[in-house]
Every structure is written in structure tokens, then in C-alpha cells.
Amino acid sequence: MVNLVDVFSEFKTGKNIDRPTMVRVLEDVFRTLIKKKYGTDDNFDVIVNTNTGDLEIWRVREVVPDGEVTNELAQVSISEAHAIDESVDVADECYEQLSIEDFGRRAIMAARQTLVSRIMELEKDEIFRKYSERIGEVVIGEVSQVVKREILVLDDATNNELVLPYTELIRNDRYHKGDVVKGIISKVEMRNNAPYVMISRTDPAFLAKLLEAEVPEIEDGVIEIKNIVRLPGERAKVSVESHDERIDPVGACVGMKGSRIHGIVRELRNENIDIINYTTNLSLYIQRSLTPAKITSIDIDQERKRANVYLDADQVSLAIGKAGSNIKLATRLTGYEIDVYRNQAEYEVDDVDLEEFGDAIEPWVIEALKNIGCDTARQVLELSIEELVRRTDLEEETIKDVHRILAEEFEEGK
């Protein structure tokens, strides 16, 4: 005969369900079993020992004289009561302990399935609740499976399954079964009646948590992270502010000889991290956002949220960054659209005015380039194709043709 208490014992030590909840589930399942057999559970006590998990079922009926039983569910004759307990008398309550086997094999099997199903549902709900409260926490786990679009990770702390989608991986991340992975809990939801816990390595909050772990001043609240923007695996910019004038926030985050930042950079696959001192001085903040480039002057249009920055020739490529990465992040960090211009006095001797290419480049194209401050061939070539497309609204193929024509001019002059 199947023992429901044994089924309970299989789950009562489960890490995701507390004991009082498990006891309530077991009581509810047995009361359902009693109702199916007797039609009601009004005259029954279900007692679960919260320490051992042992279960007892007692039927309670009033003792009446023989021949005066009018309600068999609530009353028992004195002769039948004495067969159960010789010490009872008329008007007493007769307590009869029932065995699980009294309910029949079929009923027990059905109850067992109900119990297992209820416990599984509770476990799912509890996993969902606990991880919902942990959104924004860093977790460490072991890769259990690598599938087509995601990596399944077992949480070291709970052994629950977490999901790391490929879209949340850093560019150079490569994981195999058994590898240890670190990420931040970014989303928790129910999918197909099961908890779906997603972790991310690209979320800016992941970098914030890594900094908090490495920099005690951040955890203590002395240094505040004002904003983080990332191109995961490539570059990140973090603006920080100190609430203690004696502490340099940038120096504290970087650490002696980069000791604090180096570990984070390794974790993020050599992501280049710029730590910037936050300021309410907008002009200075925009200049700092373009680090490592050095700006000579800046014009800000606060109404349109745009800024024109002017730099020496050797600083233009630094301000823009590889594939425009530096200027993209500076724009996101400050909330201002930033356009980079080369100082007018910095034309090189061997540079060529764009007007001289009128026979090879359409006049309207030349005009569009001049409108963004590119008056010479070298000024155009110093900007990436992506940056030129963004600032001129010209077609990418058109920009590529212009780049080719201008580049050929200098190659021929060598």
C-alpha cells in the first residue's frame, strides 16, 4: 500500500518550501481524501507533527445509547464506541484513529498524485518569489548545458536552473559545460507555468555590482555611481561622485596601480573602463565624457541637447574611438548629441580642400560634408564611415565612394 506520509517525507526537506507550508498542503490533501470517503471532514482531526512529519487522522463522534444513532457521521453507539475505547461513556466524545490504508488503494494513489502536484507548484511559486526579490544580485553558477540560443546555469547557492541567453553574453564570452559563470539576475517571470530566471553579463548593473564588490567606498555609500553606459566587451564609461571631499572617487575606483579595476576588466573580457568624475558643470562633464581625448573648446545647445566639441588634429580619432565607440558612450552618458570638429587652424600642409574634388564628387555631397565642419579631405578621412553617415544623413555607399576618392588622392601623392 502506498504511504502518503512517505511522499511528504521526500519533499519536506526541500530547500524551496518552508515546513509550515508543507504541513498545510498535507493537511489539505488528507481532508480532501476524507471528504471523498465520508462526504465531510467536520468530525475529523488531521494532525501533522511539524518536527518529524508524522501524520495522524482522528475521527471524533459523540457516544449515544445503542439504537439512538441518528447521524452516523457525528454519532456512534455505546457498544461500538467500547470496541474502540472501553473508557468512554454516553455523551462522551469517542476518538478513533484511522489508518491511511482505510481509504483504499485507488483513493490513496489519486491523493498521492495531488500531493506531488501541489508540492511541485508550491516549489515553482517559491522559486519565482525568491528570485524576484533577488533581481539585481550577482550570482555564480556552473554551466550545466549549452543549447542553441542560451546557456543553462546551476546556481551554486540554490542549485536552481538559471538561463543565460546568448544576447546577454559579452562579445568574447565562451562557455562550456562545467565552466563557472558570473552574472546578474536581470529578469524573473513565469513561462509555461515554470519560473524563468534570466541572468545577464551585459547589463550595466552587472558592472555596478562588480565595482561595489571591489570598492568598499561604493558599498559604504561614500562614493556614488551616477551613471554607467556600456558596449559590452568593448568599452564602458562610469561617472562617479564622492560625498567626502577628502576622497578622490576616480582614484578610489581604479585603486593603487589599477589594482581594483584590473579584476573587473578581466571578468568583462578586457572591456576598457573609463572612470569619470561626475560634475553638474555640463561643459566640463561633456569634456570628461570624451576621455581620453583632450578638447580645446565646446559649444552647447541646451535646448536641442547638442554639443559641438573642437579638438586638435591628433585628438579627433581619440574622441571618436574605434568604430565610434567613444563618442557613442559619451553621448549616452551625458544625454547630449555630440559632434566632433577639428580646429580650423590645424589644417595640414598637404591637405586638400573638398572644393577641388568637384569633378569627382557631387556638389551636394561636398556641401553636406562642409555642413558638419569637414572642409578638407583629411578632415573627412579622420572620421569613420559610420560617424559620417550619422552626421550627414548621406547613404553609406555614397560615403564609402567619397572615402575611396579622397584616399586615392593621398596615395597618388606619395
The answer for 135, left when phi > 0, alpha when psi is -120 to 50, beta otherwise, is beta
Note the pLDDT tens digit of each residue in 53-80.
Answer: 677 889 999 999 999 999 988 999 999 9
What's the CATH class of domain 4-130?
alpha beta
Give the CA distances from residue 246 to residues 23, 213, 266, in Å, rounded to whole numbers and listed in that order.
Answer: 57, 21, 29
Is there a common fold for 4-130 and 347-412? no
| C-alpha cell of residue 166 | 546568448
Q: What is 142-202's CATH number, 2.60.40.790, 3.40.50.620, 3.30.470.10, 2.40.50.140? A: 2.40.50.140
**Paired strand residues for 153:** 143, 162
User: If you average pLDDT over residues 288-307, what whole number do you get?
Assistant: 93
Evaluate if residue 347 carries a pLDDT over 60. Answer: no
User: If you average pLDDT over residues 376-380, what whole number do you get?
Assistant: 86
Query: Domain 203-278 is of which CATH architecture?
Result: 2-Layer Sandwich (3.30)
With 0.75 as the threshold, say if the pTM is over it.
no
User: If you average pLDDT over residues 180-206, what whole number do you get?
Assistant: 96
Least confident window among 95-104, 149-158, 218-227, 332-341: 95-104
How many helices, marked H, and strands, marked E, lie in the chain?
Answer: 15, 15
Note the pLDDT tens digit of each residue in 196-239.
Answer: 999 999 999 999 999 999 999 999 999 999 999 999 999 999 99
Instruction: Work out the percent of the chain whose per-residue pLDDT is above 70.
Output: 92
Evaluate if residue 15 carries a pLDDT over 60. Answer: no
CA distance 61 to 66: 14
Domain ranges of the chain: 4-130, 142-202, 203-278, 347-412
Element (H, E) at 298: strand 295-301
CATH number of 347-412: 1.10.150
Note the pLDDT tens digit of each residue in 33-47.
Answer: 888 888 898 999 988
Place of cell 558570473: 182
